[in-house]
Amino acid sequence: MNERMTTDLIIQALFRATDRKLPEKGLVLHSDRGSQYYAHDYQDRLKQLGIVSSMSGKGDCWDNAPMESFRGTLENELVHHRKFKTRLQAKQEITEYIEIFYNRQRKQQKSNYLSPAEFTQRYYANLLAA
């Protein structure tokens, strides 16, 4: 989170997302058509990681529906119920919501009522067992 959506910010987010576990080559990363996602530095980093860039078609909001759905959930379950005094407080509480509650505790109907962490753990356990 920052005051502005810059190329540097999304490159930092990409580093955080791939720091602990590098994605398999060919992973498709979807974004909107923001200029920061078109930036050469960002696109170069994706290529280095073997990530395929995918962007919404012009005026096609449905391409990004899963992310928009998550953002709506975040806003409905946390943001609209809080008055953050500082950007730092907002960043800390939103990070805690995502990392602690949403990823580890919140059950997802489309994932057979498992949390994202449980779903991922079972997925990899099944791969190893196969």
CA distance 16 to 5: 16
- Render pLDDT for 80-122 as a digit per residue (tens, 0 to 9): 999 999 999 999 999 999 999 999 999 988 899 999 999 999 9
Tell me: pLDDT of 62 over 80: no
- Phi, psi values for residue 25, rounded to 5°: -55, 140
pTM of structure = 0.76
